[in-house]
Amino acid sequence: MIGNSPHSFTSRLLFMLAGPLIWFAHFSFIYGAAGFGGAFGLDAAAIRDLSWGATVTALAAVALVLWRTAHDSITRGLAILSFLAVTFEALVLWMVPQ
């Protein structure tokens, strides 16, 4: 009596962690841009713009996850916390002058 295959476990796991994974991708992007952008020829304004773009994308992605998981409270809880964490970074982008 072999049960669920691990394959679907991986996708279930990844979906449960969608919020934090989006947060992590967003954070890597903005930190990468801030840390490495200059060396790759981006000026401060371009780095800001890219960071805002990433932030809006991340917030939208997390909102999508929230919309699609009316039932699973763990996935939702993680997504809400991730949304807050991304918002904190948006606050930084807004308040720290160039």
Partner 1 sequence: MRNYPNSLPRPKGELAKLEAIWAPPRGFKLLTAVNNTYIGLFYIGTALLFFVLAGILALLMRLQLAVPANDLIDQGTYNQFFTMHGTVMMFLFAVPVVEAIGVLLLPQMLAARDLPFPRLSAYAFWAYFIGGLFFFSSLFFDLAPDGGWFMYPPLTSSRYSPAENADFWLVGIGFIEISAIAGAIEIIVGILRTRAPGMSLDKMPVFAWSMLVFAGMIVFAFPAVILATFLLELERAFHWPFFIPEMGGDPLLWQHLFWFFGHPEVYIIFLPAAGMVSMIVPTMTGVPLAGYRLIVVALVATGFFSFGLWVHHMFATGIPELSLAFFSAAGMAVAIPSGIQVFAWIATFAKGRLRLTVPSLFILGFFAIFVIGGLTGVMVAMVPFNWQVHDSYFIVAHLHYVLFGGMVFPVFAAIYYWVPAVSARALSERLGRWAFALMFTGFNIAFFPMHIAGLMGMPRRVYTYAEGLGWEWYNLISTVGAFVLAAGILVCLVDLVLNFRFAVSGTAGNIWKAGTLDWLPNGMYGTRSIPIITSREPLWDDPELAGDVQKGRYYLPGASTGGRETLVTSPVDAVPQYLLQVPGQSWRSFLAAVFTAAFFLLLTVKLVTLALVCGVLALAMIIAWMWQTDPGENHPPVSIGGGIKLPVYVTGKISHSWWAVVILLLVAASMFVALLFSYLYIWTVSPQVWPIAEGQPMPELLWPIGSAAAFIASSAAIAYSGVMLTKARVWPLRLTLLFSCVALATALALEFHGQWDSGLRPTASSYGALVYTFFTVEAQLAVAALIMCIYTVARSVAGMLTPVRRATYDNTMLFWHYTVGQGLMSLLIVHGFPRIAE
Partner 2 sequence: METQHSVLHPGGTDAETIAILSWIMFGGATAIFFGVAGLTLLAYVGGETMRRRIASGKFIFWGGVIFPLVTVTALLVYGLMLTGARVIASSGTALRIQVSGEQWWWRVRYPASGEAAEAVTANEMRIPVGREVEIELSSPDVIHSFWVPSLAGKVDMIPGMVNRIRLRAARPGVYRGQCAEYCGGPHAMMAFYVVALEPAQYEDWLDRQRQPAASPPLQKAGEGVFFSSGCNACHTIRGTRATGMIGPDLTHVGGRLSLAAATLPNTADAFSHWIRDNQFIKPNNRMPPFGILSNGELAALGAYLESLQ
* Burial per residue of 36-71, b for 16 or more beta-carbon CB atoms within 10 angstroms, e otherwise: ebeeeebeeeebbebbeebbeebbebbeebbeebee
Q: What angle do CA 87, 91, 18 make, to 5 degrees?
A: 20
Which listed residue (57, 74, 84, 86) binds partner 2 by CB under 8 A?
84
Tokens of 28: 């890597």
The item of partner 1, partner 2, none sharing an interface with residue 45, based on CB under 5 to 8 Å by kind, is none
Residue 68 or 87 with smaller CB distance to partner 1:
87
Q: Which residues bind partner 1 (CB under 8 A)?
A: 1-7, 9, 12, 17, 20, 23-24, 27, 30-31, 34-36, 38-39, 47, 73-74, 77-78, 81-82, 84-85, 88-89, 91-92, 95-96
